[in-house]
Amino acid sequence: MTEEQLAMTAKALAHPARVRIVRLLAAQSECRGHDVFAGLPLAQSTISQHLRVLKSAGVIRSHAVGTSMVYCLNKPVLEEFLCALGEIASDAATCDPEQGDDR
Amino acid sequence: MTEEQLAMTAKALAHPARVRIVRLLAAQSECRGHDVFAGLPLAQSTISQHLRVLKSAGVIRSHAVGTSMVYCLNKPVLEEFLCALGEIASDAATCDPEQGDDR
DNA sequence: CCTGTGTATCGTTCATCTACGATTGACGAT
DNA sequence: ATCGTCAATCGTAGATGAACGATACACAGG
């Protein structure tokens, strides 16, 4: 995974409202738009925007059901992201103590 | 981990230059400032700023050695982040096909 | 046909991010 | 003392993000 791709996915997750959405979707598998809108203390238009960000990063997917939308996590994308980061982390030696921060 | 904390760490990783830095540090354990500055096609001041972002999110640590700085990953922080996200992802059912995106 | 519901999009405002050059401050070496 | 090196910080310009209300559109129900 390139640095751009990693950064893109991270950016999609870089806002509390979006993390919340991801958690909602994880908790209930498929989730109607109304439930998402009701699950956050934000205007509908704002949430719609967050959904778009998540979707264009590939973190979630959506499809219409009747008159409304259903959103769900795109698990593979999330997993690939975790995997790529995990590899980086496991490469790292556990840079020991020397404890404090200086300067 | 709260949504804010998750989002904060994600935000720290939400820029290609910062992902790059994290990769550099993972690759060489401890890394002199000069090497970081040389490893990216950006001005020194810009890189220094990115380092600060990573550091204040707790993703990296630093200490002075002689006249220069040494940076290293803060592995536990990275791991906690991965772990928290991993739990979310594993909660999620694999929201099947219905394939396409609509609307 | 009119109305309401469910979402997306537009336009705007304010805040934050990114990048840079210039500057600063600490330290070593000459 | 003077200079060069290393890294952080300042100040600024331009880009992007976040939030909102208003509006637009598709469709279902009456």
Q: Which of A96, A83, A93, A5 is nearest to B25 (CA)?
A: A93
Q: Which nucleotide is nearest to B66 (CA to C1')?
A: C27
Q: With bands split at pLDDT 50, 70 and 90, how would you rate the model's confidence at B100?
A: very low
Tokens linked to A103:
């300067």
Through-space separation of residue B6 CA and nucleotide D8 C1' in angstroms: 28
Q: Judge: B92–A20 Cβ closer than 8 Å, yes or no.
A: no
Through-space separation of residue B28 CA and nucleotide D9 C1' in angstroms: 27
For B75, residues 6+ apart whose C-beta sits below 8 A from its C-beta are A89, A92, A94, A95
**A34-40, Cβ contacts within 8 angstroms, sequence gap of 24 or more:** A34/A68, A36/A71
Q: Which pLDDT belongs to residue B68?
A: 93
Give the global pTM: 0.91
What percentage of chain B carries pLDDT values higher than 90?
A: 82
How far lies A27's CA from each of A21, A72, A88, A100, in Å? Answer: 10, 10, 28, 39
